[in-house]
Structure 1
Amino acid sequence: MVKKVVVVGGGPSGMMAAIRASQLSPDTFLVEKNPGLGKKLLLSGKGRCNLTNACDLDVFLERFSENGAFLRDAFKKFFNVELMDFFQKRGLKLKTERQLRVFPVTDKAESINQVLHRELIENKVRIICSKSLKNIIVENGVVKGIVLEDGEIINADSIILATGGASYNFTGSTGDGINIAKKLGHRIEPLHPGLVPLETKGRTAFLLKGLTLKNIRLKFYTAKKEIVSEIGELLFTHFGVSGPLALTLSGKIGEWLLKKERVFLEIDLKPALSSEQLENRLLREFKANPKKSIKNTLKELLPLRMVEVFLGICGIDETKNTSQITQEERRNLVKFLKKFPLEVSGTRPLNEGMVTRGGVSLKDINPRTMESRIIKGLYFAGEIMDIDADTGGFNLQAAFSTGYLAGESAALN
């Protein structure tokens, strides 16, 4: 019997689900609330689309923390090698950059979107855009169809919810599918922003807004313990800090903030040098140039825009010459070069997160099929589920893999 499959959500997971389902069932629909498909996909990787990561399976699973094990079956079915092969066989060349991040050679997310859209058309998927899901029809614990906002009913043997999370809501990810899943009896893990900028207290970040620091070490800690410490790139903003490193670490920081813990941030501006090496360097510089202003001396160690703010934190008069710097002031310079202080006050709102943390509980989903354990014939794919990872192509791979598995299961089971 040919199954009628309806996929709701035209993002990467939904498009892949519809493609795979249509390869097995000619009666496949794809419903999208936006006028076109892949709106959020077009923004991924700053518009370049970090498609996947070329690392091995175990490393991949680690990036999803404790929820990584849930994805093992989906990744075994359709992993990075299969995903890259999918696009390359359809004429799109790919390249691997630092940290094994995979991009289209065009550096355009639109190239990925075009391949997916073309495949949907060739597989004769019936695409319905500019229509929102209102409800799912369920009888005796089995799906029967969907109801759209305009009242239209589409009957179905299988339904795949691939409506995304609740971040970047201007793209259409407004949590609609999560709310419907909840009404149908699924447990929902609390929603929080992931890969999101952090807000900090005080005016330090505001005074440095727009400044990027590279090859610095960020250390986050509470009064009780160190949370995480990594080297990378940081961007100061008018509200706090952003950039790859802050975004990647924001999930862990958010968890501590939810516990009502105070979270502090230290920036090691010179991670390659020890405190002793820094002090010796300053001593040599001061001795060689006793009449040089401390402000000009620090320009050799710090970005120009940072010098005045840095001296203010150290409590040093910027008009002083190096010969006027006391031993205590010199030690303060070393201290704050290694431990430039900020306090995190919160994360930016959910709609500013690149991904949504939380979603439909994995306890209510069969990892071998992506089918609901509560409603027969209902499947999930992508960010609607409680899965998220760091930047680097991991989240998109999870979207494509779960979409592929859900599409196959929905058409065959």
Structure 2
Amino acid sequence: MLCIPFAGLLLCIAVMPLVKPEWWEKHQAHAVILWSLLFAIPFALFYGAPKAVETVLECLIGDYLTFIVLLFGLFCVAGNIKLEGSLVGNPKVNVIMLAVGTFFSSCIGTTGASMLFVRPIIQMNSWRKNKRHIMVFFIFLVSNIGGCLTPIGDPPLLMGFSRGVSFFWSMRLFPVLVLNMILLLTIFYHLDKKAYQKDITKGLMPEVKENEPLIRIKGAHNFLYIVMIVIAVILSGVLPKLSAFQNAAGEVIGIPIFKEVTLTVPAIIEIAIILLAALLSFKTTPKEVRVQNHFTWGAIQEVAVLFIGIFITMQPALMVLKSAGSGLGITEPFEMFWATGALSSFLDNTPTYLVFLTTAGAMHFTTGVATTLGVVPVKMLMAISCGAVFMGANTYIGNAPNFMVKSLSDENGINMPSFFGYIWWSLRYLIPVFIIDMIIFFL
């Protein structure tokens, strides 16, 4: 019963933009408050008010705060970088841009790469009418799949790193990434070629920019601030393991908030560095760069409002998963791949990853990757990692950059698929690729 508010909020996100778009745009926050209260009040009746307050605060302080600050920082810094030039959107150029953005995701995170490349992709294809598929495959590749090679790429891998998985271990996923890129970019090229020919047939033509370089970067100094943010993310995984940030009991030190809820010192350091990077980015970049980027706060506001409700209302589902994870009978790599992926499509992929990593670590394997949770076989750890990172692409809420890319696309007049419409895209193009992954890598 306590999972109903989570399902209700997801249903609102899926249906209301279709049936009452203007109302939904104005009242998203009210819907989030309503469903959050419908979770919190019954939870308090069942477990007591102190437990309810502790659960909500643990979610907000322990998870949501660093999550939204990271998104905010990357959104601000990327908004102050302007990529321009004579490149125009056509199938070959779009394939190259998606490939480059996909590899960048492992270097600066899926959120950073999404915010850096989404505006140039939109601008390059602004002359085209048939272009929603470009942004859908952008979400598939840049916002999700590309983040699998390093702990910087996606938060689940960072959690693995903080629990003993070596920093460069996830480079083992390179063959899986390359295969997925080849398959998805091949599909994309044929889709884009057909759409491109339709646009040309209708008389649409790109503006020819003479005497312009292929690529020119305005606000290039902001890459230093992206590096600052990346360092902050790495520190968030490294500092809690240092004795200087632990008390005598081995717990991470911090500011007590309520009962067991603590804002840790490593989290404070991470937040401070990210906010400083965002501030410096705005202070050192001319306003005209943001004007040329059509920078607005709409996308980050929508993500901040909706995801605070998602984080709060999904707590019962995560509690059930944590308590029942070891009893699900999932013991094979391919089962871990689909179980982790299916839940990561709708729940936060970080705790989902940790649940199945903990489950695998408790199986008493003797060979594989040594973690603080136990030894996990290489193939099983690969399956859990790929499921968590890749299948966040299955829905708009599977990973935060998905919704940000959708919002920015909507702002720029691109008619993106609805919530269920997007799932239909993932069923047609992603799931067959994941089946191939399973057959080749996880059986």
- Judge same fold: TM > 0.5, yes or no: no
| Bigger-Rg structure (1/2) | 1
Query: Please, what TM-score do these two structures have when normalized by structure 1?
Result: 0.27
Give the helix-richer structure, 1 or 2. Answer: 2
Larger RCO of the pair (alpha carbons < 8 Å, separation 6+): 1
* Structure (1/2) with the larger strand percentage: 1
Instruction: Give the TM-score taking structure 2 as reference length.
Output: 0.26
